[in-house]
């Protein structure tokens, strides 16, 4: 029987289940598999499993992976809304261990500020960006609307950000994986790292990390799929990213021939092989190219892409036919970096103006910080004539002079 017929036989509540079972539709298990199968048959799209964590099913345990309640970043909702980009629920928000927004560095919210209720991750009358209970808009870009008790110290904040960046990277590169990650490789990586890179033993590593000795032993043998929180603890002690930990057969290629020797002399923070870097760059490019395709097809207007490991950030913007857009286009620069394909980028003056425009519409702190960053970094290199001329035409004179003052230029 085809999956289409199967779905038709089931009511939505049967498919999604009731109560907390509904959370599993984003996950790695049976429900996500069925749902993706059915949706693929209905939509003829073959990439829907990337909307879930299914590609990681073999290497990340279902236990403790997903939130029971919906969580969101009010600032993200508000920014998307104000910038007229599509409002959506990132997969990252459904992961239990993601506690903060990677862009706004504040805790994700689980309680509606209007009706004070928690919500299931999906319900019959779900509306993106709105409360499922009272229907009100959940976006908000005011500062300090959140209880920050969760993040007590700078160290804790950094730990949370590190976790969410690791998870974000994982979600971002999923569509570029050539083959699903495999538990045997992961267990191999874990044991190689503990025994050869750290030159430790399972009991010693257990004492150091506070993780159960038997559990570590079972991971090393590939008998147990690790839970996400444990994987994140491992990445901390092994000093590699979650993505590397789960896909890393390339990481140790340099020492492949000699890696059988238990006394192998490997530096504590292994340098990545050229192959690995190359692959990483290709993955980033693929993500960018997919995003460009989305823009071309009109599915998105702007997209911000961050390569979490290098913190390289790219904003892709659709040009309209305005005189400002034409000026931006004519002043673009060809970036020619060794080892990278050449590509065009907007000039710093145009980025400043564009970000001031966005910032004015959304009162976005991020755009303001970016503007100040560019002004400080570029300093005297900027073409102030061009900046002020366009600031006048775009009605940005006051805000530009405020930015120049804050950046210490005026
Ligand atoms: Zn956010
Ligand atoms: Zn509500």
Centre of ligand 1 from the C-alpha of residue 167, in Å: 15
Rounded to the nearest angstrom, the distance between the alpha carbon of 8 and the centre of ligand 2 is 31
Instruction: Examine the pLDDT at 139 and tell me if it is beyond 60.
Output: yes
- What spacing in Å lies between the alpha carbon of 288 and ligand 1's midpoint? 21
Closest CA to 77 of 132, 129, 136: 129
- Separation CA 235–CA 54 (nearest Å): 21
What pLDDT score does 150 carry? Answer: 52
Q: Which ligand minimizes its atom distance to the CA of 103?
A: 1
pLDDT of residue 228: 92
* Ligand 1 center to 79 CA (angstroms): 8
pLDDT at 347: 85
Average pLDDT score over residue span 142-161:
67
> For the segment 345-364, what is each residue's pLDDT rounded down to a tens digit?
788 898 899 888 877 766 67
Distance 130 CA to ligand 2 centre (A): 8
Helix runs in 221-273, H state only: 228-238, 242-247
Whole-number Å distance, alpha carbon 76 to ligand 1 midpoint, is 4
Pick the ligand that lies closest to the CA of residue 304.
1
| pLDDT above 80 (res 32) | no
- Which bound ligand lies closest to the C-alpha atom of 75? 1
Q: What is the DSSP letter of 266?
A: -
* 141 Cα to the center of ligand 1, angstroms: 9
**pLDDT of the residue at 155:** 81
Q: How far is the CA of 95 from the centre of ligand 1 (A)?
A: 15
Q: Which residues contact 34 (CB under 8 A, 6 or more apart)?
A: 3, 6, 15
Cα of 135 to ligand 2 centre, how many Å?
A: 6
Residue 17 Cα to ligand 1 midpoint, Å, equals 29
- Give the Å distance between the CA of 391 and the centre of ligand 1: 28
Ligand nearest to the CA of 105: 1
Give the residue-averaged pLDDT of 10-18.
Answer: 45
- Coil, strand or helix at 125: coil
Over residues 187-202, mean pLDDT: 86
Question: pLDDT tens digits, residue range 257-272?
Answer: 333 333 333 333 343 4
Residue 99, pLDDT > 80, answer: yes
CA distances for 320 relative to 301, 302, 325, 345, 347, angstroms: 10, 12, 6, 16, 17
Mind listing the pLDDT tens digit for each residue in 198-244? 888 999 999 998 888 888 999 988 888 899 999 999 988 888 889 88
Distance 132 CA to ligand 2 centre (A): 7
pLDDT tens per residue across span 294-333: 555 555 455 555 444 444 555 556 666 788 888 888 888 8
Ligand with smallest separation from the Cα of 72? 1
Which ligand is nearest to the Cα of residue 114, counting in written order?
2
Decide: residue 293, CB within 10 A, 0-12 exposed, 13-18 middle, 19+ buried. Answer: exposed
pLDDT > 70? residue 159: yes
How far apart (Å, rounded) are the C-alpha atoms in residues 326 and 372?
A: 24
Give residue 74's pLDDT: 94
CATH C-level class of 182-272? mainly alpha
Name the closest ligand to CA 134. 2
The pLDDT of residue 256 is above 80: no
Question: For the chain, what are the domain ranges?
Answer: 3-56, 182-272, 321-410
């Amino acid at each position: 029987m085809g999956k289409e017929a199967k779905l038709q036989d089931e009511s939505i509540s049967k498919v999604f289940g009731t109560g907390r079972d509904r959370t599993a539709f984003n996950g790695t298990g049976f429900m996500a598999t069925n749902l993706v199968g059915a949706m693929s048959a209905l939509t003829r799209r073959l990439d829907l499993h990337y909307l879930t964590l299914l590609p990681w099913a073999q290497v990340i345990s279902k236990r403790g992976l997903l939130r029971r309640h919906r969580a969101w970043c009010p600032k993200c909702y508000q920014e998307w809304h104000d910038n007229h980009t599509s409002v959506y629920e990132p997969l990252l928000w459904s992961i239990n261990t993601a506690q903060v927004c990677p862009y706004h560095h504040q805790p994700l919210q689980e309680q509606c500020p209007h009706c004070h209720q928690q919500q299931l991750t999906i319900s019959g009358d779900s509306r993106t960006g709105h409360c499922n209970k009272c229907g009100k808009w959940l976006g908000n870009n005011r500062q300090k609307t959140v209880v920050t008790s969760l993040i007590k110290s700078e160290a804790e904040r950094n730990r949370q950000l590190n976790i969410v960046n690791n998870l974000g990277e994982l979600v971002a590169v999923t569509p570029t994986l050539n083959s699903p990650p495999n538990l045997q490789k992961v267990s191999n990586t874990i044991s190689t790292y503990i025994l050869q890179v750290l030159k430790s033993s399972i009991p010693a590593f257990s004492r150091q990390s506070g993780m159960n000795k038997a559990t570590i032993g079972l991971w090393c043998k590939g008998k147990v799929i690790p839970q996400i929180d444990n994987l994140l603890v491992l990445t901390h002690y092994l000093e590699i990213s979650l993505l590397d930990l789960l896909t890393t057969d390339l990481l140790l290629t340099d020492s492949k021939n000699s890696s059988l020797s238990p006394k192998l002399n490997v530096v504590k923070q292994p340098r990545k092989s050229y192959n690995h870097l190359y692959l990483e760059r290709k993955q980033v490019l693929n993500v960018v190219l997919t995003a460009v395709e989305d823009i071309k097809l009109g599915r998105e207007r702007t997209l911000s892409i961050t390569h979490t490991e290098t913190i390289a950030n790219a904003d892709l913007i659709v040009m309209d036919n305005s005189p400002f857009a034409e000026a931006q286009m004519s002043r673009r620069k060809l970036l020619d970096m060794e080892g990278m394909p050449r590509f065009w980028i907007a000039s710093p003056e145009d980025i400043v103006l564009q970000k001031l425009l966005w910032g004015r519409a959304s009162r976005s702190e991020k755009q303001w910080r970016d503007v100040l960053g560019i002004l400080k970094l570029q300093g005297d290199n900027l073409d102030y004539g061009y900046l002020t001329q366009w600031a006048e035409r775009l009605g940005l004179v006051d805000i530009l002079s405020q930015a120049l003052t804050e950046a210490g230029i005026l």
